[in-house]
Structure 1
Amino acid sequence: MEFVDKILKCVDCGNEFVFTAGEQLFFHDKQFRNDPKRCKLCKAKRASGGSAVRAETRTTCSECGHETTVPFKPTQGRPVLCRECFQRKRIVPVAAQQPPATL
């Protein structure tokens, strides 16, 4: 099977990049079915966790009423907890599930 260089478009930055014949041979040998979707720069950024900055959303805690930030967009109708209330909720159910100590 003969491979020739292909021009592909990066799904992240939109720039074109070359998928070389050698890379295609490697993909073929490893039985990879899909062509790469990202250029080398975007692939490296993604691998290192580069520009993936989480968006913080300001909201009010459903338990204590304090203003807080959360790393997700809250869904309407669902409670949102600050860090302290969230930790308290996680610890209490675990302790409640343990049987009482017998003497």
Structure 2
Amino acid sequence: CLEMAYSDKVLICRDCGISFTFTAGEQAFYASRGLLNQPTRCSSCRSSRKSGRALEEGGYVHYGAAASFGGRTPRQMHPAVCAECGEMTEVPFLPRGDKPVYCSECYNKIRERS
């Protein structure tokens, strides 16, 4: 498992100055995507920055990636480790840690069982 090579790191957000945790799972996810730099902003500052950029674009119709979402912006995805198979996955919500998170394949298998 790749995650064993990583350990949680506490980083400081460059915008608000608050410390945030760059988890081992997130580090493994970044590495799997070929991302070499660690995040410099906490998740709330990243979200604020993304929504601010969308407003700066002036409401023009954009073709390409956004068009496939019917004009809506795609959901922000968050890295997580599947509680069933241990693989890295992305989920459309921020995992809280008190409930298991599953990749879509494991989620569908579990749903079929119940």
How high is the TM-score relative to the length of structure 2?
A: 0.42
How high is the TM-score relative to the length of structure 1?
A: 0.47
**Which protein has greater RCO, CA pairs closer than 8 Å, 6+ apart?**
2
Q: Indicate the structure (1 or 2) with the bigger Cα radius of gyration.
A: 1
